[in-house]
Chain A
Amino acid sequence: MLKLTEVKKQYGEFTLDCSLTVYPGRVTGLIGRNGAGKSTTFKAALGLISIDSGTIEVLGKPQTALTPQDKEKLGVVLSDSGFSEYLTVRDVAAVMRGMYTKYDSTKFLEECRRFGLPGKKKIREFSTGMRAKLKLIAAMSHDARLLILDEPTSGLDVVARDELLELLQEYLEGCDDNAVLMSSHISGDLEKFCDDLYLISDGRILLHEETDVILSRYGLIKADEEQCAALDKTYLLKKKKENFGYGLLTDQRQFYLDNYPGLAVEKGSIDEVIRMMTAGTDI
């Protein structure tokens, strides 16, 4: 569905150097801190910025060869851009009808009503949450095969986020071959939805792993100096100095639970993995 191979882009001091693949039927998450390169990756994938080297394939075609007809199969949410604020929901419906052959206007307007988006009000009068809802509903209204969602739940309260994630779930259940690439700063959203995760930091992919694997096999070991020195380092990925000694990230939690009784080994979480992979040092 989407394949970025050794994509490089230089922006002054910042360098993006990224490879990632999104397969049909899967939801892939891109996680990282602010400024890590998530939005740059999305923009490169969408052809909004030129790349210095590497290749990008979208729906089996080079990104640069995508036609407007191909782009009809993409549903996109960008965190910092959307429909003109001077349009209303009804206007957006009319524009989409003119753009997409498979656009379902009735469903779009129904979903807008369901999520409390007034049809005649200009978007500039919408709250941040309402704008986020509109973007996601629009992205899912034209039978897209690949959704590219940059921070789709940004600015939403917990209830609205759950409602929108429910909508996304319905979309995913609609077709087995649909795929999604999404980023979010809320790890709970990614835990719930993503089959696999890419962790990006300073423009580079630091980790690619199945979400289930992170949640079931990864762990955070809390050890003092002495315990740390005695540990088998084979399955340790990163180390970080803490006030109690060291925090150690492992991808084989069970190994340390079995072989080091009494050692504090916590279950892995996406937040911990991000923290350790970006702030920790190599073993």
Chain B
Amino acid sequence: MNMKGLLIKDFKLLAGQKQYFITMFLIAALFLFSGQHISFVLTYMTMLCVFFTISTVSYDEYNNGYAFLFTLPVSRRGYVAEKYLFGLLTGGIGWSASMCMALLFALVRNPDMESGEWITGTLAALITAGFLLSFTLPMHLKFGAERSRIISLIFMAAVFGLVALAVKIVAPRLDMQWTKAIGTGGWIALGSAVYIALIVGSVLTSIRIVEKKQF
């Protein structure tokens, strides 16, 4: 019941941004028909929908709004759960809309599109959206809109720096035979496990952040 109220609130806020969504949709269509790869359009649409989930946190915190929000029949845990669910729903809507658009495009312009391209596009969109939501939602809850943007940039730069360091300097000196032994299936399983762990970790971190918040 209570999560339903929060979802209604966020969808009402989303409805207030309908012009933004229409523009976004038109741009995606333009990308698709101007020859952009389907995975780009799918990722673009899904990501923008996830960004909107993040922006609802800003709406909630604006003008000390959290204080009143948590006097309503909402638990802090429930609030966090709703944000992830809303992210899933909006991401799902964005993904479905762009998928329909891509199908239409395939029928009209490119009936021979390979199934591999569809799978790559779909996976790229889902993975990017999941990573984006898992990373930015706790950051936004912890630091707010302004500070989280700066901290996110620093964090991303640090992660890329470490990855580059690992690939360029550390990896060539190690025996990397085991990476071949794992095989494609193993990599998919490992990737899925890391992905799930990341999402679970993100949810738990967000709950901890919101439960500690003082209003």
A residues with CB within 8 A of B:
43, 46-50, 67-69, 71-72, 74, 76, 78, 80-87, 91, 94-101, 122, 148
The residue that B5 contacts in the complex, of A67, A69, A98, with Cβ under 8 A, is A98
Which residues between 168 and 213 of chain B lie within 8 Å of chain A, taking CB atoms? Answer: none
**Distance, CA A205 to CA B65, complexed state (A):** 28
- B56's nearest neighbour on chain A, judged by CB, is A84
Chain A residue with Cβ nearest B67: A81
Closest 10 CB pairs of A and B: A99-B5, A98-B5, A76-B71, A81-B67, A68-B73, A81-B68, A48-B215, A98-B4, A71-B73, A91-B12
Which of chain A's residues has its CB closest to B75's CB? Answer: A68
Are A78 and B71 in contact, with the CB atoms below 8 A? yes
The answer to whether A81 and B4 have CB atoms under 8 Å apart is no
Main SS at interface, chain B: helix
With A82-B65, A83-B68: A99-B74 Cβ-Cβ less than 8 Å = yes
Partner of B68, one of A67, A68, A69, A76: A76
- CB of B170 to closest CB in A, whole Å: 44
Give every chain A residue within 8 A of B62 (Cβ-Cβ).
Answer: 84-85
Contacts of A78 in B (CB 8 A): 67-68, 71
Which residues in B have some Cβ–Cβ distance to A below 8 Å? Answer: 1-2, 4-9, 12-13, 16, 59-60, 62-68, 70-75, 78, 214-215
Contact indicator B59/A84 (Cβ below 8 Å): yes
Bound complex: CA A35 to CA B59 (Å): 27
Q: Across the interface, which residues of A come within 8 angstroms of B9, CB to CB?
A: 84, 87, 91, 95, 98
Closest to A83 in B: B68
Number of A-B residue pairs having CB atoms within 8 Å of each other in the complex: 93
Q: Which residues of A contact B214 (CB under 8 A)?
A: 48-50
Question: Could you say which of B7, B12, B59, B73 has the most chain A C-beta atoms within 10 Å of its C-beta?
Answer: B73
Chain A residues whose CB sits within 8 angstroms of the CB of B16 once the complex forms:
86-87, 122
For A91, what are the chain B residues with a Cβ–Cβ distance below 8 Å?
9, 12
- Residues from chain A with Cβ under 8 Å of B1 in the complex: 68, 98-99, 101
Write 27 A-B pairs (CB below 8 A) sorted by A numbering: A49-B215, A68-B73, A68-B74, A71-B72, A74-B71, A76-B71, A81-B64, A81-B66, A81-B68, A84-B59, A84-B60, A85-B63, A86-B16, A86-B59, A87-B13, A87-B16, A94-B8, A95-B8, A95-B12, A97-B8, A98-B1, A98-B6, A98-B9, A99-B1, A99-B4, A99-B6, A99-B74
Distance in Å: Cβ of B139 to nearest Cβ of chain A: 21
CA distance A117 to B74 in the complex (A): 26
Bound CA–CA A85/B69 (angstroms): 12
Q: Which of B5, B64, B74 contacts A96 (CB 8 A)?
A: B5
Nearest CB on B from A39, distance (A): 10
Shortest C-beta distance, A128 to chain B (Å), equals: 13
